[in-house]
């Protein structure tokens, strides 16, 4: 089969012919239809320090996908050939304390699809049945391909109640944009999102943000009076991984405010602990998706009218993978999707 492979340690990827996987006991073989490019894939492509420490070549990349089940191995009961599916990319041990308690997203021995084991940037991928999410309602294939990052957005956005609350999101990347859409759909009074990219701020407005603020040109405090806010934001969602963004967020939270943190900083972050303690703020780390409460919530949100399709801005065929990665790295994009049923598409941007 054709697959996008990190063939050796170092920068770059290769579209290569590799042996197709087979479904073993409890596993499902899936023909991949679409994949989304994640920031993790960009790290592996560029071979930064994290990738050099984490990844062992050769490796098929990719963990955001949608596909059709073509074969099931012995013991598979609830998934059948022909099912349209996405996949949970965190492969858990099933035996640690959290797995046994049903908190699989907290598994201490999680293995990442397309990071520690061959992934979905290929014509076929294999997953355990327990990691397969069957789409039982009509869904756009491109949207289904980005259920993984959509899940990050939903997990973050719904970590705290947002109904009637003023929400601040720092970082207007694709997940931040989708979180803004989710928070608005869930009844937030206002959703303010910050970034320094005019392109992404404009896209965030299209996704439903009340205000999209360029923090290189103005301050968060400047928009609060116009929103009739006097005490600060009720719920914060830190998506950027920037220390200054989290610090700024803490400074603008109301007493008792709650912050969900998805962005991963590259270094240590100094926090105003006096403000956190005396204003009784709650900070919660978010990683991945709750299995499978978040997946259920994603499907229900879409069935009830949430539209995240504007976040998908570029589409490419699998032979255009270099162009697709360049678009994803440029910052002038939302989500970039690769079509694994066609080698090329007439136009990359939509």
Catalytic residues: 40, 43
Residue 92 tokens read as: 């858990």
Q: CA-CA distance, 172 to 108, in Å (whole number)?
A: 30
Structural tokens at position 180: 């803004």
- Give the C-alpha separation, 244 to 223, whole Å: 18
Q: How far apart are CA 124 and CA 106, in angstroms?
A: 28
Q: Which of 103, 115, 151 is nearest to 288 (CA)?
A: 151
Residue 201 CA neighbour count, 13 Å, CB half: 15
Residue entry with tokens 């049945």:
129
Tell me whether residue 141 is exposed, middle or buried, using C-beta atoms within 10 angstroms of its C-beta: 0 to 12, 13 to 18, 19 or more. Answer: middle
Query: Residue 103: CA atoms inside 13 Å, Cβ hemisphere, count?
Result: 8
Backbone CA torsion sign across 84, 89, 90, 93: positive
CA torsion angle for 190, 249, 253, 177 (degrees, to 10)? 20
Q: Which two tokens stand for residue 96?
A: 């640690």
Buried b (16+ CB within 10 A) or exposed e, 170-190: bbbbbbbbbbbbbbbbbebbb
């Amino acid at each position: 089969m054709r697959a996008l492979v990190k063939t050796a340690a170092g920068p770059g990827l290769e579209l290569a012919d590799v042996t197709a996987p087979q479904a073993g006991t409890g596993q499902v073989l899936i023909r991949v239809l679409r994949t989304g490019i994640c920031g993790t894939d960009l790290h592996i492509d560029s071979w930064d320090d994290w990738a050099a420490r984490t990844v062992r070549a050769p490796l098929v990349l990719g963990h955001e996908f949608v596909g059709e089940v073509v074969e099931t191995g012995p013991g598979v009961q609830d998934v059948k050939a022909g099912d349209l599916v996405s996949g949970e990319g965190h492969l858990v041990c099933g035996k640690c304390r959290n797995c046994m308690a049903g908190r699989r997203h907290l598994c201490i021995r999680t293995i990442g699809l397309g990071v520690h084991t061959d992934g979905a940037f290929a014509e076929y991928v294999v997953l355990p049945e327990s990691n397969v999410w069957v789409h039982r309602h009509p869904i756009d294939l491109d949207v289904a391909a980005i259920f993984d990052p959509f899940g990050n957005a939903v997990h973050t956005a719904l970590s705290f109640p947002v109904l009637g609350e003023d929400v601040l999101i720092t970082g207007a990347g694709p997940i931040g944009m989708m979180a803004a859409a989710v928070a608005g759909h869930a009844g937030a009074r206002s959703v303010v999102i910050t970034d320094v990219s005019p392109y992404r701020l404009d896209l965030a407005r299209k996704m439903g943000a009340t205000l999209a603020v360029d923090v290189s040109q103005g301050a968060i405090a400047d928009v609060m009076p116009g929103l009739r806010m006097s005490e600060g934001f009720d719920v914060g969602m830190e998506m950027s991984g920037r220390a200054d963004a989290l610090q700024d967020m803490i400074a603008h939270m109301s007493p008792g405010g709650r912050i969900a943190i998805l962005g991963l900083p590259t270094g240590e972050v100094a926090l105003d602990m006096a403000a956190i303690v005396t204003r009784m703020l709650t900070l919660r780390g978010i990683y991945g998706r709750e299995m499978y409460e978040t997946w259920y919530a994603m499907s229900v949100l879409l069935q009830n009218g949430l539209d995240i399709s504007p976040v998908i801005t570029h589409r490419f065929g699998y032979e255009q993978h270099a162009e697709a990665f360049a678009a994803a790295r440029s910052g002038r994009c939302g989500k970039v999707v690769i079509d694994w049923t066609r080698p090329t598409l007439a136009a990359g941007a939509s």
